[in-house]
Amino acid sequence: MTDKDDFSAALNPAAPDGATILANERARSSIPVEKFSRYLLTSKYIEQQNRILKANLARPDLYKLALARAKWIRQLKDKVGWNDDEYQMAATLCDDVLPYYLHTAIFIATVLQQGSAAQKVYWMPKLEAWEVIGAYAQTELGHGSNVRGLELEARWDPRTKEFVLHSPHLTASKWWNGTMGRTANYVIAVAQLLLPVSGSGAETKVDPETGEYTKPKNPEVVYGSLTHVRAKLVMEARLALARAVTVAVRYLSIRRQFKDKDALQDTAPEINVLDYPTVQFRILPLLATTFPLHYSGKAMGKLYERTRTDIERSGDFAALAELHSTSSGLKSLCTDISANSIETFEGDNYMITQQVARYLIKKVRELVERPNSQATTRTEESLRRFLASKDTKLYLSVLTSDEDIVEAFEWRAAYLSFKAYEKREIQKQTWNSLLIDFYRLSRAHSQSILVIKFYNAINNDSNNIPSAQTRSTLRDLFRLFALSTMETEACEFYSCGAISNEHLDAVTPRVFDLMQRIRPHVVSLVDAWIFCCTVRWAGPMTKSTKNYSSWHIGRIR
Q: Per the annotation, does 297 bind a ligand?
A: no
Q: Which residues of 289-299 are buried (b: 16+ CB within 10 A; e: fewer)?
A: bbbbbbbbbeb
- Distances, alpha carbon 21 to alpha carbons 271, 480, 544, in Å: 12, 26, 11
Cα gap 450→334, rounded to integer Å: 9
Cα gap 228→308, rounded to integer Å: 10
Largest Cα span, the chain: 93
HSE-CB for 153 with a 13 A CA cutoff: 13
- Distances, alpha carbon 443 to alpha carbons 42, 357, 437, 449, 557, in Å: 30, 10, 10, 10, 49
Residue 346 a catalytic site member: yes
Closest to 351 measured CA to CA, from 464, 237, 436: 436
Q: Per the annotation, does 178 bind a ligand?
A: yes
H-helix or E-strand containing 199?
strand 199-203
Three-class DSSP category at 431: coil
Cα gap 461→475, rounded to integer Å: 12
- State residue 268 phi and psi, 5-degree precision: -60, 140
For 10-71, the DSSP string reads G--PPSSPHHHHHHHHHHT----HHHHHHHHH-HHHHHHHHHHHTTTTTSGGGGS-HHHHHH
Three-class DSSP category at 217: coil
Closest to 325 measured CA to CA, from 364, 366, 357: 357
Closest to 280 measured CA to CA, from 257, 304, 248, 303: 248
Q: Which residues of 44-71 are buried (b: 16+ CB within 10 A; e: fewer)?
A: eeeebbeebbebebbeeebeeebeebbb
What lies within 8 Å, CB to CB, of 556 at 6+ separation is none
User: Which residue is catalytic, options 236, 346, 407, 410?
Assistant: 346
Contact 287, 522 (CB under 8 A): yes
Cα gap 269→307, rounded to integer Å: 58
Q: Write down how long the chain is.
A: 557
What lies within 8 Å, CB to CB, of 249 at 6+ separation is 274, 283, 287, 522, 523, 525, 526
Binding site residue list: 139, 178
The residues annotated as belonging to the active site are 346
Report the binding-site residues for FAD: 139, 178
